[in-house]
Structure 1
């Protein structure tokens, strides 16, 4: 996201600790946000919110006189579109959930890391700007999803600085006619990057994509160049190829690292000679499409003559960009989660649920071998299962409806999609570490690594213990409905 310097309306800082206020203010001013207002007495904040427009509120949760939660209620009443960031010294899931339901955009723990604060403020102000543009109908804002335009008009839903650099490179590539090569693991969004190049280029023709994985030489040539009638057995008529279909636009060739050497040679000639022959024809046709290629092969693999033609590699790499895997772009996870939940909720015919900071923190630990594509599938699956369970409970006396205040349940998510945790110096992901695994606030999972079922049972037992057997309170602690907890308890007892 671009950094918004000095918003027109000031940033309101509310904290009863003078040192904390000074620290927030100095960090923001050093970062370029000089339009700030401090408030050390929370009793003054409601009147300030009612009488003055602000761009953002950063507030402490535990303050004398008027608490942070009470101020969130004031914000929701007097300035409902005003983003807020809550700061607290207590890392409690229930508190975070309540604040998110009350409208808080982010939840930071004291002592607040400077970089975390600045990232949270940047994201909040940029998101507010995008929302304002969307409401005003300005193109390039958070417009409704379309095939080629999902964010900033280029199809890229990103927030991480690494991806911002990628976007800059793609924009630079867009103004030229030279081939471009996009590298990255499966699922990182290589086709979206190719679409971004095409969209930003302003080319009048179509964006045409072909996945080259598994194509033999004849089928690749026929698909790309087309054929004339009688070119081969069963060729009853002529057919134009994708090169012609992409004339005036962009031809995207995905997984070119899997092409045979014969197909690689045909592609090299197409790029080098800028012309091609349909199968069975002796008349050449000009190449009028921009070539964009992608592969999940690494640079060392592409440089290996035994795997890929070096002359083709150097032709394609006129413009080269590497898309980092999702595990290396942690700031993209929250914005992608919101984006995919919005899309899934619309498809499933339900309101978009909220997500808690703890949910995002746990999700950020996942290694994501399938990258962005995996995240999208995981969220869709979890939301569909949660919706089904909610519908089953619709006739209950304590009905739980998924509305805009509901929270996507972490336990449900983890139960349906077990996560592999990236190596962070904690518990091992292979299953049998020598030391016990700790799940926050002294919740020990014992020696060795438990199965998912065992972990779920122990978490439920701990929740029931902390709530003195009160199922409603334990369900709230777990982020699930009382009926769902009751079913799990009954299942545990039967087993």
Structure 2
């Protein structure tokens, strides 16, 4: 069985001319990388082939002996309505074309006309079928609420519902070849998600990672496309580009938001044409790698200021995975804390220290600008300093004190805290409400609550006692 078949479903060519079947199969593979092709030169065997194989697209000749194309079209539409059928004819017959469209054909082409139009029509039909299958798979996953491959996500520690939805979406898109855009703040685990997508894709070649931040146009081209010997001064030997190293696998381009405009043009052409030229070569090479990109930047804002091409963005966002920041995954913080403490202890070859109960509560009230990566670094630092007893909170407290721990109000929260149609609370009432909220967030811990309020613990304790003391 051939590996890395494209598309994921089979394409069946039905024509009584064996020479056309051979030449057109070769054309599809050489021009657009379509290699999941079945051929049939006897229309009587067509339905049996469809029944036995996972066929998503049929290219069907109109004029054939035994069963005509129109009769076979009717049978396919009736028994397999989800299969797209493109009709082919040696003659430009308008009436026949209209009849085929009425019978349910996806499109109609004349063999003798420009083959580019026919190939483009096939690519459109493939995309339509892929979208239908993806939507079908997403509905199935969302309604089932269960992951089909939970082991693929075992390295990502979470119990957050939004992350579970991300996992379900990833499962539904992993098998196709369309590009994926992963967005999220720095440290949210974008490369780990790219690795999961690659693992679930079933591709046998490896995931190749390339960080494009800081690369000028020449270095970007050389790194991505490679070069031939003598392509430029100092090129004393050939070099394989990252895209060729990822052949049959996945190419992950990180920090895509930092790519220069001139490099964006080259990446756009790679995505559009599916081919590239190594530096110093006049012979194009076909792309046989899925491309995943990631950024922590707001690409829509960069489009508005002209620093990111809109056409490239639309090419990249066919599938978009957005990872939530750690401050929106509060329930995951205790899990991650234990996971990273154990991991740090293993790597440093020491016993895992016991974390104080209030540590998780403290961290749940920290904004974590560095997200999961920052929590991991804090845990490793704390374990490396640990000398016995309960784990000290000093490393974590220092991080909380040195940064602005106030979680910013979300951008869509534009309404006032105090609606105009209600009276303002008194200053005393507001203070009481604020103390109550701080104690709630601190899970009753006065030390953490006082830190959130910006007052000393004795001052908070005095205020709390005054509530229960009769005046």
TM bin (shorter chain)? 0.5 to 0.7
CA shift for structure 1 position 449? 4.4
Give the conservation status (yes or no) of the 8 Å contact 2:159–2:331. Answer: yes
Give the conservation status (yes or no) of the 8 Å contact 1:177–1:290. Answer: yes
Q: State the partner residue of 2:246.
A: 246
1:414 maps to 2:400: no
CA shift for structure 1 position 330? 1.1
What SS class does the counterpart of residue 350 from structure 1 fall into?
Answer: coil
Q: 1:351 to 1:290 in 2, by over 3 A?
A: same
Q: State the partner residue of 1:339.
A: 339
State how 1:323-402 maps to structure 2 within 5 Å. Answer: 323-386=323-386, 390=387, 401=388
Q: State the partner residue of 2:211.
A: 211
Whole-angstrom distance in 2 between the partners of 1:179 and 1:424: 32
1:175 maps to 2:180: no
Give the conservation status (yes or no) of the 8 Å contact 1:302–1:313. Answer: no
1:280 maps to 2:280: yes
Whole-angstrom distance in 1 between the partners of 2:451 and 2:281: 71
Q: State the partner residue of 2:294.
A: 294
Bigger CA radius of gyration: 2
What SS class does the counterpart of residue 215 from structure 1 fall into?
Answer: coil
What SS class does the counterpart of residue 218 from structure 2 fall into?
Answer: helix
State how 1:115-134 maps to structure 2 within 5 Å. Answer: none
Give the conservation status (yes or no) of the 8 Å contact 2:188–2:372. Answer: yes
CA shift for structure 1 position 245? 0.5
What SS class does the counterpart of residue 209 from structure 2 fall into?
Answer: strand
Query: What are the Cα deviations for residues 180-213 of structure 1, in whole angstroms up to 9, with x where unaligned?
Result: 0011111111111111110111110110011111
Give the conservation status (yes or no) of the 8 Å contact 1:212–1:220. Answer: yes
Query: What are the Cα deviations for residues 260-317 of structure 1, in whole angstroms up to 9, with x where unaligned?
Result: 1110011011111111100000011110110000111124324426021111100010
Q: 1:352 to 1:441 in 2, by over 3 A?
A: closer
What SS class does the counterpart of residue 213 from structure 2 fall into?
Answer: coil
Give the conservation status (yes or no) of the 8 Å contact 1:275–1:287. Answer: yes
State how 1:442-481 maps to structure 2 within 5 Å. Answer: 449=454
Give the conservation status (yes or no) of the 8 Å contact 2:251–2:292. Answer: yes
Query: What are the Cα deviations for residues 355-407 of structure 1, in whole angstroms up to 9, with x where unaligned?
Result: 34421111100000111111111111111112xxx2xxxxxxxxxx4xxxx54
Give the conservation status (yes or no) of the 8 Å contact 2:184–2:296. Answer: yes
Q: State the partner residue of 1:396.
A: none
Question: How many equivalent pairs are there?
Answer: 281
Give the conservation status (yes or no) of the 8 Å contact 1:180–1:293. Answer: yes
Whole-angstrom distance in 1 between the partners of 2:173 and 2:358: 39
Q: State the partner residue of 2:317.
A: 317
Q: State the partner residue of 1:189.
A: 189
Whole-angstrom distance in 1 between the partners of 2:339 and 2:391: 14
What SS class does the counterpart of residue 379 from structure 1 fall into?
Answer: helix
Query: What are the Cα deviations for residues 75-95 of structure 1, in whole angstroms up to 9, with x where unaligned?
Result: xxxxxxxxxxxxxxxxxxxxx
CA shift for structure 1 position 448? 9.0
Whole-angstrom distance in 2 between the partners of 1:302 and 1:165: 27
Which runs of 5 or more structure 2 residues have no equivalent in the other structure? 1-148, 410-430, 462-471
Give the conservation status (yes or no) of the 8 Å contact 2:299–2:308. Answer: no
TM-score, scaled to structure 1: 0.52
Q: State the partner residue of 1:475.
A: none
Q: State the partner residue of 1:75.
A: none
What SS class does the counterpart of residue 324 from structure 1 fall into?
Answer: coil
Give the conservation status (yes or no) of the 8 Å contact 2:302–2:308. Answer: yes
Give the conservation status (yes or no) of the 8 Å contact 2:299–2:313. Answer: no
What SS class does the counterpart of residue 170 from structure 1 fall into?
Answer: helix
Q: 1:276 to 1:358 in 2, by over 3 A?
A: same
Query: What are the Cα deviations for residues 319-358 of structure 1, in whole angstroms up to 9, with x where unaligned?
Result: 0111111111112212211221121111111122233442
Q: State the partner residue of 1:57.
A: none
Whole-angstrom distance in 2 between the partners of 1:309 and 1:381: 41
What SS class does the counterpart of residue 181 from structure 1 fall into?
Answer: strand
CA shift for structure 1 position 417? 6.4
What SS class does the counterpart of residue 377 from structure 1 fall into?
Answer: helix
Whole-angstrom distance in 2 between the partners of 1:285 and 1:424: 48
Q: 1:186 to 1:222 in 2, by over 3 A?
A: same
Q: 1:368 to 1:416 in 2, by over 3 A?
A: closer
1:164 maps to 2:147: no
Q: 1:203 to 1:441 in 2, by over 3 A?
A: closer
Whole-angstrom distance in 2 between the partners of 1:310 and 1:412: 44
CA shift for structure 1 position 411? 3.9
Q: State the partner residue of 2:307.
A: 307
Give the conservation status (yes or no) of the 8 Å contact 2:221–2:263. Answer: yes
Whole-angstrom distance in 2 between the partners of 1:332 and 1:245: 36
Whole-angstrom distance in 2 between the partners of 1:447 and 1:422: 8
Query: What are the Cα deviations for residues 415-439 of structure 1, in whole angstroms up to 9, with x where unaligned?
Result: 47646423499xxxxxxxx999988
TM-score, scaled to structure 2: 0.55
Whole-angstrom distance in 1 between the partners of 2:395 and 2:237: 54
Whole-angstrom distance in 1 between the partners of 2:377 and 2:292: 26
CA shift for structure 1 position 445? 6.3
Whole-angstrom distance in 2 between the partners of 1:447 and 1:269: 51
State how 1:225-240 maps to structure 2 within 5 Å. Answer: 225-240=225-240
Q: 1:178 to 1:445 in 2, by over 3 A?
A: closer
